[in-house]
């Protein structure tokens, strides 16, 4: 069960919660109900109160004992017995149901209008008769005095089927291209039909003549309404002998008195969706209107909202249980919702225990999930000394902080600050004393928090008050110091401005220049009032030059502040390093020299440690480059052992081939001793300048 409150009206959603699959065994269902808390808290008012896929319409019989619902898929009708709180029967149909009605006080006489133009009649035992109308139907109404069924649809005609004679009668010819909905007044039996052009035509069944017409399309449009098309009539409902409610496809509900062609009241849902259902609650003079998104309950005299219900799924139909505060909704969901509103009326007789249940819930309100937890930030954890709990099960991360158990928080808080209660008590006593002093003669003094800001605001306020006094009709603007919305800023120490912070130092030049410009503007305004006819003195800089100089000056100040902040940051880091070095205790590191090893230097030890950490591939590469490994000071004495790595057969063959090639090249080498030691042609022996002459 879910509890919500809209406009101080409690609404109980009795269908909220998990539902068990039908294919589970009874034993498995009992086991789940014992383990799952959500299943234990749910209220299954009527057993199997749902459809396989979607529920399209729902109605209650006149005696209040049976609830009938039509849905899909497959198309079917289900009847629930409220006395037994369970499903009485289920009948599958050949096609989807557009509308249905209960002709008797119980479920023994039913009429269904199908989407394929068929009209199907059911009796107590099941299917009774089936016939067809000429056009596709959209709605129908039953006229009890004459036993006539009036069908409207995609035609200008209203088809009449007399159930006493068992034949069709002459149709009613309307001026509309299509008729969408219809209804019959329960008092004087006036028949009304809504058209796709936004009109309502009223007919007298006794003489079969039209007696009136209302143009609801123009009445639903206002100056603020966006017109995307001609609004049609989507819902129609009579209340009493003179009141009629009309719902349009653009989301407006119009209340009419049949003696007037102008609506008494127009209510907009502001969703721009067609009105699906209209109902009247006569005990409190309320109207229950619904579109696919929301159900609105409002007063029919002044249109004031009483409450509203917004389910999670789209709404197809709404039904009010007579003389109670219970509503049933047909949704685009397998589950049919059941809402109970105690403010509308008592619970029905077959579920009177709901009144006792809701009274107990109001006496002991249910605590929310977050009442047992405290939200803390990382800074709060550092102040409490609980930073080491981050990542444990005691803290649950949420947004920019964590949730922790409120009992743990209070326990740690009392240990971290045992005198917190005494300080809180002293602050409360001081506040009470200051409140009692407000009745005395007030002396203008600075507050204890943000004194500099208060002094600045006082000076600006005095300047503005003096300027306003010079004007004939001027009034000084109210100061922040006298505004109750900002009084906490000058009372609570948490709002103290830190002038040494980086943000303040970067913004202060800009704020100070703005304040200087404001003072200069006030001063210039005073001069304007004093010397209205005088010209600007010579040699005085213009306002544009002064503003440009001011901009340059505050830019330079901001740069200077940034430079100082960087310098302070470097100095702070240098100081922290010095403190760390001062507090560091030097511990000598000892290296163990194994037997047979010779100590050369610490660098050699470091190189060996790095070599040990290297991978096998890197060590093999280093050994290939050195091609030999030397080991000294072994256990057998100071001897040196040299060995070479074993090579593969392929490497041996390649080296042998290279060696034979070099030997062959040596044999073919020619001696160059017979050549002259003088320079050759390339060194100046040519015909050019500087060459040797021939004889």
586-597 pLDDT per residue, tens: 555 555 666 655
Q: Which residues of 615-637 are buried (b: 16+ CB within 10 A; e: fewer)?
A: eeeeeeeeeeeeeeeeeebeeee
DSSP string, 316-331: EEEEEPTTSSEEEEEE
Cα–Cα distance measured from residue 99 to residue 115, given in angstroms and rounded to the nearest whole number: 9
Q: Which of 262-276, 335-349, 658-672 has the lowest mean pLDDT?
A: 658-672
> For the chain, what are the domain ranges?
2-364, 373-416
In this predicted structure, what is the pLDDT of residue 133?
93
Cα–Cα distance measured from residue 208 to residue 231, given in angstroms and rounded to the nearest whole number: 27
Cα–Cα distance measured from residue 687 to residue 692, given in angstroms and rounded to the nearest whole number: 8
Cα–Cα distance measured from residue 630 to residue 633, given in angstroms and rounded to the nearest whole number: 10
- For 654: left if phi > 0, alpha if psi spans -120 to 50, otherwise beta; the answer is alpha
Which pLDDT tens digit goes with each residue over 658-691?
988 888 888 876 666 665 555 544 454 444 444 4
In this predicted structure, what is the pLDDT of residue 179?
93
Judge whether 408 and 380 are in contact, CB under 8 Å.
no
Judge whether 196 and 177 are in contact, CB under 8 Å.
yes
Label residue 67 exposed, middle or buried (CB < 10 Å: 0-12, 13-18, 19+).
buried
| Other CB atoms within 10 A of residue 52 CB | 13
Segment 561-570 mean pLDDT = 80
In this predicted structure, what is the pLDDT of residue 512?
61
DSSP 3-state of 619: helix
| Pure H helices in 194-296 | 216-220
Which pLDDT tens digit goes with each residue over 44-75?
788 888 898 999 999 999 999 999 999 988 99
Residue 122's pLDDT band (cuts 50, 70, 90): very high
Which pLDDT tens digit goes with each residue over 170-181?
999 999 899 999
Nearest to 384 by CA among 406, 419, 410, 412: 412
In this predicted structure, what is the pLDDT of residue 407?
85
pLDDT at 200 over 90: yes
Residue 162 sits at the vertex; the CA angle it makes with 158 and 166, to the nearest 5 degrees, is 130
Nearest to 174 by CA among 149, 189, 154: 154
Beta strands in 14-156 (DSSP E): 54-60, 66-72, 76-81, 86-92, 97-102, 110-114, 118-122, 127-132, 137-143, 148-153
Q: Which residue has the higher pLDDT, 107 or 371?
A: 107
Q: Which residues of 664-685 are buried (b: 16+ CB within 10 A; e: fewer)?
A: eeeeeeeeeeeeeeeeeeeeee
Judge whether 36 and 51 are in contact, CB under 8 Å.
no
Segment 263-271 mean pLDDT = 89
Q: Which residue has the higher pLDDT, 326 or 557?
A: 326
Beta strands in 418-546 (DSSP E): none
Mean pLDDT, all residues of the chain: 78
Cα–Cα distance measured from residue 525 to residue 377, given in angstroms and rounded to the nearest whole number: 50
Cα–Cα distance measured from residue 93 to residue 695, given in angstroms and rounded to the nearest whole number: 131
Which pLDDT tens digit goes with each residue over 518-542?
556 555 555 554 444 444 444 444 4
Q: Which residue has the higher pLDDT, 438 or 166?
A: 166
- For 539: left if phi > 0, alpha if psi spans -120 to 50, otherwise beta; the answer is left
Q: Which whole-number Å values give the CA distances from 335 to 155, 326, 480, in the listed order?
A: 35, 16, 56
pLDDT at 629 over 50: no
DSSP 3-state of 189: coil
Segment 231-243 mean pLDDT = 92
In this predicted structure, what is the pLDDT of residue 367?
46
In this predicted structure, what is the pLDDT of residue 185?
93
| Other CB atoms within 10 A of residue 166 CB | 9
Judge whether 217 and 209 are in contact, CB under 8 Å.
no
Directed axis angle between helix 502-530 and helix 543-583, to 10°? 160
In this predicted structure, what is the pLDDT of residue 533?
44
pLDDT at 474 over 80: no
The CATH superfamily of 2-364 is: YVTN repeat-like/Quinoprotein amine dehydrogenase (2.130.10.10)
Provide the percentage of residues in the chain whose pLDDT is more than 90.
Answer: 33
Q: Which whole-number Å values give the CA distances from 196 to 200, 201, 615, in the listed order?
A: 9, 12, 84
Cα–Cα distance measured from residue 313 to residue 336, given in angstroms and rounded to the nearest whole number: 10
What is the H or E stretch that residue 340 is in? strand 337-340
| Other CB atoms within 10 A of residue 478 CB | 9
Cα–Cα distance measured from residue 241 to residue 243, given in angstroms and rounded to the nearest whole number: 6
DSSP 3-state of 180: strand
pLDDT at 643 over 50: yes
Segment 393-399 mean pLDDT = 83
pLDDT at 365 over 90: no
Judge whether 317 and 276 are in contact, CB under 8 Å.
yes
Residue 79's pLDDT band (cuts 50, 70, 90): very high
Judge whether 406 and 372 are in contact, CB under 8 Å.
yes
Looking up tokens 């819930």 gives 361
Residue 451's pLDDT band (cuts 50, 70, 90): confident
In this predicted structure, what is the pLDDT of residue 488?
78
Residue 202's pLDDT band (cuts 50, 70, 90): very high
Judge whether 1 and 17 are in contact, CB under 8 Å.
yes
In this predicted structure, what is the pLDDT of residue 695?
41
Sign of CA dihedral 143, 146, 152, 156: negative
Cα–Cα distance measured from residue 18 to residue 40, given in angstroms and rounded to the nearest whole number: 10
Segment 235-262 mean pLDDT = 92
Residue 636's pLDDT band (cuts 50, 70, 90): very low
450 CB-side CA count, 13 A: 19
Cα–Cα distance measured from residue 623 to residue 537, given in angstroms and rounded to the nearest whole number: 92
Which pLDDT tens digit goes with each residue over 312-334?
889 999 999 999 999 999 999 88
Which pLDDT tens digit goes with each residue over 500-523?
777 776 776 666 665 556 556 555
pLDDT at 463 over 60: no
The first and second tokens of residue 94, run together, are: 């050949």
Residue 169's pLDDT band (cuts 50, 70, 90): very high
| Pure H helices in 214-274 | 216-220
Residues contacting residue 437 through CB under 8 Å, at least 6 positions apart? none
The first and second tokens of residue 350, run together, are: 């077959």
Residues counted in the chain: 695
Segment 437-460 mean pLDDT = 68
């Amino acid at each position: 069960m879910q509890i919500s409150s809209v406009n101080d009206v409690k609404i109980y959603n009795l269908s909220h919660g998990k539902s068990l699959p039908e294919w589970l065994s009874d034993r498995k269902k009992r086991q789940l109900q014992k383990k799952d808390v959500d299943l234990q808290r749910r209220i299954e008012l009527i057993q199997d109160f749902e459809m396989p896929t979607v529920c399209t319409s729902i109605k209650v019989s006149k005696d209040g004992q049976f609830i009938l619902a039509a849905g899909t898929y497959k198309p079917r009708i289900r009847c629930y017995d409220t006395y037994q709180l369970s499903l009485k029967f289920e009948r599958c149909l050949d096609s989807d149901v557009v509308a249905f009605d209960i002709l008797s006080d119980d479920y023994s006489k039913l009429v269904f209008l199908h989407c394929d133009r068929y009209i199907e009649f059911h009796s107590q035992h099941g299917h009774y008769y089936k016939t067809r109308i000429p056009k596709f139907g959209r709605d129908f109404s039953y006229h009890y005095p004459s036993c006539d069924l009036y069908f409207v649809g995609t035609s200008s005609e209203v088809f009449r089927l007399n159930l006493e004679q068992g034949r069709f009668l002459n149709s009613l010819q309307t001026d509309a291209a299509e008729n969408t909905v219809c209804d019959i007044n329960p008092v004087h039996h006036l028949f009304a039909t809504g058209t796709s052009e936004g009109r309502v035509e009223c007919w007298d069944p006794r003489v079969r003549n039209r007696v009136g017409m209302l143009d609801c399309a123009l009445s639903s449009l206002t100056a603020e309404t966006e017109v995307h098309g001609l609004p049609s009539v989507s819902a129609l409902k009579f209340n009493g002998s003179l009141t009629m409610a009309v719902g349009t496809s653009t989301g407006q509900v119009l209340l009419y008195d049949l003696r007037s062609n102008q609506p008494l009241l127009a209510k907009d849902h502001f969703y721009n969706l067609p009105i699906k259902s209209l109902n009247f609650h006569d005990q409190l003079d309320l109207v229950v209107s619904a579109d696919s998104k929301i159900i609105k309950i409002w007063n029919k005299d002044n249109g004031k909202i009483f409450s509203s219900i917004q389910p999670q799924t789209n709404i197809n139909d709404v039904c009010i249980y007579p003389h109670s505060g219970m509503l049933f909704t047909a949704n685009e969901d397998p589950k049919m919702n059941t809402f109970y509103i105690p403010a509308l009326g008592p619970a029905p007789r077959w579920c009177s225990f709901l009144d006792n249940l809701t009274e107990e819930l109001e006496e002991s309100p249910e605590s929310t999930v977050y009442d047992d937890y405290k939200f803390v930030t990382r800074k709060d954890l550092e102040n409490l000394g609980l930073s080491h709990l981050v990542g444990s099960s005691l803290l649950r991360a949420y947004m920019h902080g964590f949730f922790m158990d409120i009992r743990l928080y209070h326990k740690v808080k009392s240990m971290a600050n045992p005198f917190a209660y005494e300080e809180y008590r002293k602050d409360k006593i001081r506040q009470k004393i200051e409140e009692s002093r407000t009745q005395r003669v007030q002396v203008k003094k600075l507050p204890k928090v943000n004194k500099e800001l208060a002094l600045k605001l006082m000076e600006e306020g005095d300047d503005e008050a003096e300027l306003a006094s010079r004007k004939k009709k001027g009034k000084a603007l109210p100061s922040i110091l006298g505004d109750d919305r900002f009084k906490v800023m000058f009372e609570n120490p948490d709002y103290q401005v830190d002038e040494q912070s980086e943000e303040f130092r970067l913004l202060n030049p800009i704020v100070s220049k703005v304040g200087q410009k404001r003072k200069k503007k006030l001063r210039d305004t005073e001069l304007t009032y004093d010397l209205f006819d005088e010209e600007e003195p010579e040699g005085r800089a213009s306002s544009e030059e002064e503003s440009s100089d001011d901009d340059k000056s505050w830019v330079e100040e901001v740069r200077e502040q940034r430079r100082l902040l960087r310098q302070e940051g470097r100095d702070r880091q240098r100081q922290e390093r010095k403190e760390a070095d001062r507090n560091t205790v030097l511990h000598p590191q000892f290296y163990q020299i194994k037997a047979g090893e010779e100590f050369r230097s610490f660098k050699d030890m470091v190189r060996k440690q790095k070599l040990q950490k290297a991978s096998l591939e890197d060590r093999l590469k280093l050994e290939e480059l050195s091609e030999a490994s030397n080991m000294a000071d072994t256990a057998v004495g100071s001897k040196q052992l040299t060995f070479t790595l074993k090579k593969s057969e392929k490497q041996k063959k390649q080296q042998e081939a290279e060696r034979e090639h070099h030997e062959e090249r040596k044999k073919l080498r020619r001696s160059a001793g017979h050549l002259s030691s003088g320079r050759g042609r390339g060194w100046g022996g040519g015909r050019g300048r500087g060459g040797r002459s021939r004889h």
